[in-house]
Amino acid sequence: MIATLSSATLVGLSALPVRIECEAGLGLPGFSLVGLPDGAVRESRDRVLSALRNSGFSVPNRRIVINLAPGDLRKEGTGFDLPVALGVLIASDQCQPREEELGRVFLGELGLDGQVRPVRGCLALVMGLRENGHTRLVVPWQNLAEARLVPGMEVIGVATLSEAANLVQSGELPPERAVQASPSSLACVPDFSDVRGQETAKRALSIAAAGGHNVLLWGPPGSGKTLLARRLPGILPPLSEEEVLEATRIHSVAGLLEPGSGLLGQRPFRSPHHSSSMVSLVGGGSIPRPGEVSLAHHGVLFLDEIAEFPRHVLEALRQPLEDGEVSISRAQQAVKFPCRCLVVAAMNPCPCGYLGARTRSCTCSENEVGRYRARLSGPLMDRFDLHLEIPSILPEDLEQSRGHECGTQEMLGDTTRARSRSFARHPGILNSRLAGAALRDACALDGASRDFLIQASRRLGLSARAHERVLRVARTVADLATAPAVREDHLAEALAFRASDPRGAR
């Protein structure tokens, strides 16, 4: 007898349906699994057989063949355990299925005792299955809250193989368990009022948050670069419903959602170490997974000590920062991960960190300083809209600024209103993503402003890309000032944040 059930596998952010075909026929007893399974899928043989024994079923003394169709698609993960075990039970006549129950899609890993365990990427699988027309699913009960976030789906959660077998045979629903989707726990964002003496830097970050502009901070150790960057998510407007689903889907694929957790409660903040590999930062692998730049989608990617990252890793960021997505091609498949995030990078001005500092003297030679700064290429620097030097703060500066700090709530109100103005012109498009006719319409200049920008661009040696980025920043400055058109003073502020270059600083 041949039993057929439905399951699915992840390819990037998409879910592709997989048919589980099981035959328990004549021949020497054995268990064969075919259909391009990876190591985790091949190991399901031992998990399934032990789960059958420990759930009160018998292991068929037959030749069992499991086919995962289509055969030319590589299957990965542990989510096929449950449908494979049910297929063995049906093929060996230990379970008489109801036809309507076989129309469900089954996902779940099995423990040796028959318990059904959660699977990685359940939210992405459910969203992908809905796009393919499937509406009825059986998932591990720990994934139930995550799966029910997708509207229009009939989702049942099971805790054991026996419950799943009863469902297939009699339509008996498993007992309801308390599952309530709660926002994923993310760290509380600290307040900007804790930062004293860096009002210019706060202004730059307000512009970055309002328009989605990438920022490069450079200055001596202890000047507050990390302090500022970690507070940036607090002045980003709340996620929209669509953004919440997109960001949560990526975290689900990466396996970062805890069982029972729901949608992300706030914008993600990712801060990878400078020893991170290219695959961990950009994404990839033999079976492509999202990297840190995609996990920061609709949030903030903080690259602290950016000059310490390997150069080839940084250069791999150039295309994602420009396009807003990562394209990963392999021999058998190509996937894309979105990565529209706000990138904040921080670096020291030299290897010892104290070049130009007011508190200590630099001990680096000119050659050492030159080699250190050359780690950031010109094309990569062009991807940062705002270049900001963070000066060292003296104790008297801290005391003089006490009580005059601008807080997160005040800054959040400014950035939210500025984004509303930009979305009124071009719905859903941040100023940092304006291009072509949309950029020309939003940044129409009068004659004096145009001449000013041309002269300043020549003096600073700006590339065509940098020229457009100055226009986008100026448009954001105008939005913060509630100005309908970009004026010369808006361009001047945008150029001031572009004129500072750590590679040429002395």
Q: Mean of the pLDDT values across residues 377-391?
A: 91
Residue 500 vs residue 463, higher pLDDT:
463
List, as one string, the DSSP characters of 163-214: HHHHHHHH-PPPPP-----EEEP-PPPPPGGG--S-HHHHHHHHHHHHHT--
Would you state the structure tokens that stand for residue 478, as one six-digit string?
């105008």
pLDDT at 258 over 50: yes
Q: Which domains does the chain have, with CATH numbers?
A: 2-180 (3.30.230.10), 192-499 (3.40.50.300)
200: Cα within 13 Å, side-chain hemisphere: 14
Given this model, what pLDDT does residue 503 score?
A: 61
What pLDDT does residue 17 have? 93
> Quick check: 372 pLDDT over 50?
yes
pLDDT, tens digit, 9 for 90 and up, residues 17-53: 999 999 998 888 899 999 989 888 999 999 999 999 9
What single string gives the DSSP state of each residue in 41-67?
HHTHHHHHHHHHHHTTPPPPSSEEEEE
Q: Would you place residue 198 in the very low, low, confident or very high pLDDT band (cuts 50, 70, 90)?
A: confident
Predicted confidence band of residue 84 (pLDDT cuts 50, 70, 90): very high
pTM of structure: 0.88
Q: Which helix H or strand E contains 241, and what residues bound it?
A: helix 241-253
- For residue 334, list its beta bridge partners: 329
- For residue 46, what pLDDT is reported? 93
Q: Is the pLDDT reported for residue 497 higher than 60?
A: yes
The first and second tokens of residue 404, run together, are 């005059």
Q: Average pLDDT, stretch 367-385?
A: 90
Q: Identify each DSSP E strand in 358-482 by its residue range.
A: 386-389
Proportion of the chain above pLDDT 70, given as a percent? 94
Decide if pLDDT at 357 tops 80: yes
pLDDT, tens only, 267-290: 999 999 999 999 999 998 877 889
Query: What is the token pair recorded at 401?
Result: 């600024």
